[in-house]
Amino acid sequence: MIHRRAWLYGAGALALPGLAKAQPAWPQRPIRLIVAFAAGGAADSVARVLAPRLGDRLGQSVVVENRTGGSGSNGGAVVAQAAPDGHTLLWDASSHVVNPSLLRGLSFDYTTAFLPITLATTFPQVLAVKAENPAHNVADFIAQAKARPGALNIGTQGNATAGHLALAQFQRLAGIEVTHAPYRGGADAARDLAAGVLDGAFITALSAGPIADSGRARLLAVATEARLASRPDVPTFAEAGVPGLTIAEWCALFAPAGTPTGVAERLHGAVTAALADPEVKARLEQLVAVPVGSSPAEFARFVREGRTSMATLVREARISLE
């Protein structure tokens, strides 16, 4: 019925010259996919897996363009200032809902500048400890931290990243105090964890997996609602006695606010179709990325709720980018 009414209204409008104009074909040229983070990282890797498939579906090439810096805000500024015609898009991560609580003096407003298209994938965060650490489960780790407040050095991907937020939440829920050691990425934190420089790390399963497989680290828990298919032996934090810890890094597609509904719908369809492609699914599994493909409405709600919850966590845990 909805489609029929839309057709009837459209037909009536076309019968009256000047009351309606045909929408221009889209896309008319290659699409710029602005990745707000460095090449080779988790967000960039997923973007480059999906870009060719999106191009096939949309009939134009999708060109990945990295705009780093400002905790992702530099890339956001490019898209916020772009024409809302579907030819410049933002590929962002969980910092999208954290930045409004951390950054001041931006040239755009995160709450109004973007149209959420879809949450594409998530990257589960895990708590890993060095091989020499006597803790073999979360309860052991908590007991160790309570016995020596502030003595354990725990690495993350960096200040205000998903790993840092998960660590802050873990400390609040478990009633412990550790020393945060921010790095410039999960790979760097994993390297020092494997070398024994760190006592533990809150990083992605992608970064922690190789050193765990080599015996240089041990995975204690994953911050997801269900166990990972790739790591069925690793319990969730809820199973380990710390319910409520479900923070993950994520990758998602945004368009400039004001982008036509039809363009947004085609973008959403292209992403969800790409995520369902067997070859894409296999590659994402290698990246330990969990495909999602939420609807625009679901994703918009996810962003709103995430912005609120992260604002509370940032304030209470006194998180900053310094």
Of the residues 167, 187, 222, the one at which a domain ends: 222
* 25 within a domain of the structure (yes/no): no
The closest of 262, 289, 227, 269 to 56, measured between CA atoms, is 269
Residue ending a domain, among 173, 204, 222, is 222
Establish if 21 belongs to a structural domain. no
Is the distance from CB of 182 to CB of 164 less than 8 angstroms? yes
Position 136, amino acid: H
Per-residue pLDDT of the chain (322 residues; tens, 9 = 90+): 333 333 333 333 334 444 444 556 899 999 999 999 888 888 899 999 999 999 999 999 999 999 998 989 999 999 999 999 999 999 999 999 999 999 999 999 999 999 999 999 999 999 999 999 999 999 999 999 999 999 999 999 888 889 999 999 999 999 999 999 999 888 899 999 999 999 999 999 989 999 999 999 999 999 999 999 889 999 999 999 999 999 999 999 999 999 999 999 999 999 999 999 999 999 999 999 999 999 999 999 999 999 999 999 899 888 887 7
For residues 164 and 214, membership in a common domain is answered with: yes
Handedness of CA 126, 131, 136, 141 (dihedral sign): negative
Say if 287 falls within a structural domain. yes
Domain end marker among 222, 238, 272: 222
- H helices of the chain, in order, are 2-14, 42-58, 73-80, 95-102, 138-147, 162-174, 186-194, 205-213, 261-276, 278-286, 296-317
Task: Give me the pLDDT at residue 23, please.
Answer: 57
Query: What is the reported pLDDT for 283?
Result: 95
Helix (H, G, I), strand (E, B) or coil at 145: helix
The answer to whether residues 153 and 191 belong to one domain is yes
Residue 229 resides in a domain: no
The reported pLDDT for the residue numbered 185 is 84
Domain contains 9: no
In angstroms, the Cα distances linking 64 to 4, 254, 317 are 38, 14, 35
Token pair for residue 307?
């912005």
pLDDT at 13: 38
d(CA 291, CA 103) in angstroms, rounded, equals: 29
Pair 38, 101 in one domain: yes
Shared domain check, 218 and 78: no
Q: What is the pTM of this model?
A: 0.84
Regarding whether 116 and 258 lie in a shared domain, the answer is yes
DSSP assignment of 251-279, as one string? EEEEEETT--HHHHHHHHHHHHHHHHSHH
Q: Does 201 lie in the same domain as 52?
A: no
Report pLDDT for 19: 40
Whether 58 is in a domain gets the answer yes
Q: Are residues 253 and 117 in the same domain?
A: yes
| CATH code of the domain in which 286 resides | 3.40.190.150
CA distance 128 to 145: 14
Residue 213 belongs to a domain: yes
114 and 139 inside one domain: no
When divided into structural domains, the chain yields a total of 2
Same domain, 70 and 152: no
Residue span of the structural domain in which 38 resides: 30-122+249-317
Evaluate whether residue 39 is within a structural domain.
Answer: yes
98 and 66 part of one domain: yes
Whether 144 and 206 map to the same domain: the answer is: yes
Rg for the chain, CA atoms, rounded: 22
DSSP 116: E
CATH of the domain at 154: 3.40.190.10
**Same-domain pairing of 42 and 108:** yes
